[in-house]
Structure 1
Amino acid sequence: MHLITIGLNHETAPVAIREQAVFGPEKLVPALQDLTAQRDIDETAILSTCNRTEIYCRQQQPDGQAVVKWLCQFHALEPQQLQECLYHHPEEEAVKHAFRVASGLDSMVLGEPQILGQMKTAFATAHKAGTTGKILNRLFQNTFSVAKQVRTDTAIGASAVSIAYAAVDLAKKIFADLGTKTVLLIGAGETIELVARHLTNNGVRHIIVANRSVERAELLTSRISGEAIALSELPNRLAEADIIIASTASTLPILGKGAVESALKLRRHKPIFMVDLAVPRDIEAEVGGLADIFLYTVDDLKQIIEENISSRRDAADEAEKIIALETIRFMHWLRGLNAVPTIRSFRKNVDDLRNAALEQAYRQLAAGENPERIIEILAHNLSNKFAHAPSQALKQADNEGNSRLLSAARKLFMLD
């Protein structure tokens, strides 16, 4: 039984690679079931966000090559190119990594809270798909508990810093007064909702939300007093937007170069500021080459984010101490599971010896033999039978010069 995590993130892979390794909602369950059906893979869970794709496994083999091979085949990726971007965390490292990710210590934005919700969703999906078991269930439950403790006992989440915040912060640096600008948000998920809240808090009065599901967009705009439209209306509304921020789960770009060129003509080439927070990207990369377009991706936000996290570094040190302790506790539990089959077998053998001795004693009592003598024989037989197998093993160990087994026996039977 081996615990392992294979993954890539914003630190190890550019967005061009990360978007190829994404598991969209429609592919996640089939992927989980397909991976678990592979030989020697017993449990799996997949965390897939714009900044990371990670596969958590309990498997029979100690290395993760089978998982890497499956990942390449599933996404039709070039193995050599992917290998350069992957990290492998076995056993204790996998546990510590899960705790750090859920606590926001491995995020682009130190301490950001969104990742915990994303991990909960990833686990819930895997659990419902039937691809988790005793080990991953316990790992994720402990992970959520550790993340909660980190947020309660440290100031890791004290300041409002996130990808969404960073996007709005960049817009503030480009436009002196956001209140006079029209903002077009593409998508209506959690990230876009956070962006909308930050925009509203910074005085933006006109927000348009475009989404595949108009009902979902209307639900969001009802909370921010914005306008909801369908994605099909985008070409006719682009020219109104001074700022465009996109974050959807689409596997293909939503905003293309041609549509943006048409919008710029209608705007008489008045500049548009764009932020693409999606992976895969929602805005074609070629759009960034147009004059009067200022296009940023999640990778471009790193510098801004670094400027906002200095206050969280001390809290992160405290969080690391909590994680180190909880990792040790989890590994104690995990390693204890290895002894369970042996303990069960040992107890069964002892019970069998006891039952056989008792059965003999009952027959002797029924035959009218002396009870005191029967008790003496019972005790003598039990002690001999209990000691026989260990004695034989110790004699053999002595003959073979196996001092480790002899030392272990002295500790096991408390002879020192």
Structure 2
Amino acid sequence: MATYSFVASHRIIDLTTVALLSNGAAGIPELFRTETAQNLGVTGTIVLATCNRLEIYVQLSVAEHLGPVSDMLYAEIAQKSELDAELIADSFEIYENLEAAKHLFTVASGLESAVVGEREIAGQVRRALAYAQEEGAVPGELVQLFEHAAHTARQVGQHTTIGSQGRSIVSVALDLADAVAEKDWKTRRALVFGTGAYAGATIAALRERGCEDIWVNSRSGRAPEFAAKRDVRAVPKGETYKAMEQADVIVGCSGGSDPLSPAEIPPGHHTILDLALSRDFDPAIADLPQVELITLESVRLAAPEETEEAVATAERIVESETQAFAARQKTRNIDSAIVALRSHTMEVLDEELDKVRSQFGCTAATEQLELAMRRMVKSLLHTPTIRAKQLATQGRTSDYIAALETLYGITIDDR
């Protein structure tokens, strides 16, 4: 069994391409549940999509089928996004097994974020796992991978100053807005597009700065319920233009498929923060008079850097947790090997006991013989079991598994 991560992020491609890839990847979980994918050995997948990255984690029982599975993934995204398949393939980096784990731990800790140390990503990693579990069964290996990523993020948060200032994409964007928006936060009216977790985080960040006049707009019709839970106001249906007209700061968090054009923006002074992965606003609105447009690219360029010492400490924690995860996986492998050896031995024993019963019947002597043989087998398995655990602690699980295959023909996946 092998785990692969397909990673497209702001580090190697522009954010517009990330958004297009993410839109095209919406059907990947369903695709990988089809009979075709299962025949290729796909046993599970988790998709992590944020404002600056798309990561697809795939568990594959047949490593040799990585090529066909990759082609299937790229073709699906190409069909839905209308991007060229070759461009899509070039946009992804592929990590395998322990490399995939280390990468995810690094991402969850905020070390790969546009704003290093941002806290939002750890929650996004947890939600990616939860969403995958809601959609269907997720293999234990992927669950353990994502749970350990969340654990690593907590360790980095507890033992370093990374993220201690509460920096996030939203907070940096609001800092930029402070430099150009009129009034102060107590007297500004904020309009938030969207009703997802990102919009919720934005409302919390606005409140932290003293903003009290917050409105929520949603094309899906969920604004009233969303607003009521957060004690903010919902824009009535059909009054989006009026709401924008009265807003000082407008924050896009919805990622709608139809961005607002310059003609749809009311005249007057507006500071617009477009923080959605798929733009809520056409970039051309930046050319409108009295409009200041702040985008994810603006945030990336303005993001403050963490100290080298804090980053180095965080990286050491990630490396340590990666090795701990690897050791835990090896222990699970050795446990599987022990179970396989016991099952093989007991199967042989049961076959021989069946022969004894068929020849001599279920007599008292037969029962005594069975007890003696089971004690003998248990005794014979004791030393191999102890040695298995000793070898696992020495990092020699592969040696033990190879010996089982050579001596007994028992095959255990050691990846």
TM-score, scaled to structure 2: 0.76
User: Counterpart of 1:391?
Assistant: none
Q: Could you tell which deviates more after superposition, 328-337 or 97-106?
A: 328-337
Identity, in percent, stands at 25
> CA, structure 1 residues 63+14, in 2 after alignment: closer, same or farther (shift >3 Å)?
farther
User: Counterpart of 2:189?
Assistant: 182
Does 1:318 pair with 2:313?
yes
Any gaps of 5 or more consecutive residues in structure 2? Answer: 382-398, 408-415
Does 1:333 pair with 2:335?
no
Kindly report the root-mean-square deviation, in angstroms, between the aligned alpha carbons of the 2 structures. 4.0
Count of aligned residue pairs for this structure pair: 371
- Determine if contact 1:103/1:146 at 8 Å carries over to the other structure: yes
Once residues 9 and 85 of structure 1 are traced to their aligned partners in structure 2, the CA distance between those partners, rounded to angstroms, is: 8
- Out of 220, 235, 240, the position equivalent to 1:234 is 240
Once residues 170 and 23 of structure 1 are traced to their aligned partners in structure 2, the CA distance between those partners, rounded to angstroms, is: 28
Once residues 338 and 160 of structure 1 are traced to their aligned partners in structure 2, the CA distance between those partners, rounded to angstroms, is: 39
Residues 195-248 of structure 1, C-alpha deviation per residue, up to 9 Å, x if partnerless?
333334434453332223565456447746x53204631123332233221110
> CA, structure 1 residues 206+339, in 2 after alignment: closer, same or farther (shift >3 Å)?
closer
Specify the SS of the correspondent of 1:21. Answer: helix
Specify the SS of the correspondent of 1:310. Answer: coil
Q: Residue 353 of structure 1: CA displacement? A: 5.7
- Pairwise mapping of residues 174-213 of structure 1 onto structure 2 (< 5 A)? 174-175=180-181, 177-179=183-185, 180-212=187-219
User: Counterpart of 1:155?
Assistant: 161
> CA, structure 1 residues 243+354, in 2 after alignment: closer, same or farther (shift >3 Å)?
closer
- The amino acid that maps onto 1:50 is C
> CA, structure 1 residues 178+196, in 2 after alignment: closer, same or farther (shift >3 Å)?
farther
Q: Residue 131 of structure 1: CA displacement? A: 4.4
Once residues 214 and 345 of structure 2 are traced to their aligned partners in structure 1, the CA distance between those partners, rounded to angstroms, is: 74
> CA, structure 1 residues 277+15, in 2 after alignment: closer, same or farther (shift >3 Å)?
same
- Out of 284, 292, 300, the position equivalent to 2:290 is 292
- Determine if contact 1:102/1:115 at 8 Å carries over to the other structure: yes
> CA, structure 1 residues 12+128, in 2 after alignment: closer, same or farther (shift >3 Å)?
same
Q: Could you tell which deviates more after superposition, 146-155 or 133-142?
A: 146-155
Once residues 208 and 332 of structure 2 are traced to their aligned partners in structure 1, the CA distance between those partners, rounded to angstroms, is: 51
Q: Could you tell which deviates more after superposition, 331-340 or 181-190?
A: 331-340
User: Counterpart of 2:51?
Assistant: 50
- The amino acid that maps onto 2:216 is V
Residues 141-182 of structure 1, C-alpha deviation per residue, up to 9 Å, x if partnerless?
222222222222333231121111011100111136324443
Once residues 345 and 192 of structure 2 are traced to their aligned partners in structure 1, the CA distance between those partners, rounded to angstroms, is: 69
Once residues 153 and 134 of structure 1 are traced to their aligned partners in structure 2, the CA distance between those partners, rounded to angstroms, is: 28
Once residues 353 and 75 of structure 1 are traced to their aligned partners in structure 2, the CA distance between those partners, rounded to angstroms, is: 50
User: Counterpart of 1:32?
Assistant: 29
Q: Could you tell which deviates more after superposition, 342-351 or 7-16?
A: 342-351
Once residues 145 and 325 of structure 1 are traced to their aligned partners in structure 2, the CA distance between those partners, rounded to angstroms, is: 12
TM-score, scaled to structure 1: 0.76
- Out of 80, 90, 103, the position equivalent to 1:84 is 90
Does 1:9 pair with 2:15?
no
User: Which has more radius of gyration?
Assistant: 1
